[in-house]
Amino acid sequence: MNSLFDLLKTLCELDGPSGNEAPVRDFIMSEIKDFCDAKIDAMGNIIAFKKGKKSPKFKVMLDAHMDEVGVIVTSITSEGFLKFQTVGGIKAESLFCKRVRFGNVLGVIGAKPIHQSSPDERKNLPSADSLYIDIGAANKEEAERYVYLGDIGTFATHWKALTDDVFCTKAVDDRVGCAVLINLLKQPAEYDFYATFTVGEELGLRGAKTATYTVSPDFAIALECTTAADIHKNSGNKVAEVEKGVAVSFMDSATLYDHALYEFTLQTAQKNNIPVQVKTAVTGGNNSGAIHLTKSGVRTITLSLPGRYIHSSATVGSKNDVIAQNNLVVALLNELAGGNLS
């Protein structure tokens, strides 16, 4: 599985915020072009067809989104600081004093220092609109030589191994799904299938709808990263747990999943001795929300890697959970394509 984790590390360290997925898309195309038929649609999605040993009884589509959360420059002050909005859902406390980059330009997200804050201000986290990005420019004119209004940046974070199994990096949501799909496309397939690498999920499921319309599958499997709320003092509200296997959803804010498919997915994991857990929270959403409503409807399930601190500069995940996600999508793909769930 080393090649899978090499892929994941490379993908996570690429910058591809919503609206600027090109570096990720270019890398994926370079990896898969010799193993499948792939094209890029008008939205910027990659739609890949993998020829298998057999024709499927049901057409199956596997999906992962290429984009990550980030920041977009909205104005530049006379002193050369960048005001910004978030691209995707990022809490203000995840931004404070973090490094970001716009291509080769590095910056630090700053706010009023504690020494100048009032006692009341020290009790509260800064609001996102009070923050700014410092790129070291002396004034507005110098800043404009490096960035522009509408420039989109990402967290400047590199992959770190915390233990032999646990790693920490940015953009695991959803480069893990992209890595698993690339790995799968490079292997011989039992059945024909489609893989879509989609844009704009962090801004509202934009690419998944058009990609699904093109493929028109019978079944879809969305590969994702989801919240692992397994931290200290949160034992009563765990969503999923790191190092406990791939998480399967029964409902979220965008989808009430096909119940027969949900049960079949858990049974497939158990039959193949794949570590699996149920995602307990019904909040959040992913590309399944757009996929399952396309055309006359698509039976859809989501398989997620549990990740601590997602939508931040440092998500913590488990290699063994990635392997479980990889193994379950292979097993489920073959079961669905083979007609074992009607």
* Cβ neighbours, 10 Å, residue 144: 13
Phi-psi region for residue 255, left (φ > 0), alpha (ψ -120 to 50) or beta? Answer: beta
Query: What torsion do the CA atoms of 278, 282, 287, 292 make, to the nearest 10 degrees?
Result: 90
Q: Which residue has the tokens 């992209």?
A: 178
Contacts of 229 (CB under 8 A, 6+ apart): 237, 238, 239, 240, 281
How far apart CA 54 and CA 90 sit, in angstroms, is 44
Q: Is position 141 annotated as part of the catalytic site?
A: no
- On whether the CB atoms of residues 239 and 249 are closer than 8 A, the answer is no
Residue 228 has what DSSP assignment? -
Phi-psi region for residue 284, left (φ > 0), alpha (ψ -120 to 50) or beta? Answer: left
How far apart CA 207 and CA 46 sit, in angstroms, is 10
How far apart CA 263 and CA 339 sit, in angstroms, is 16
Q: Which of 201, 202, 224, 335 is catalytic?
A: 201
Q: Which residues are catalytic?
A: 201
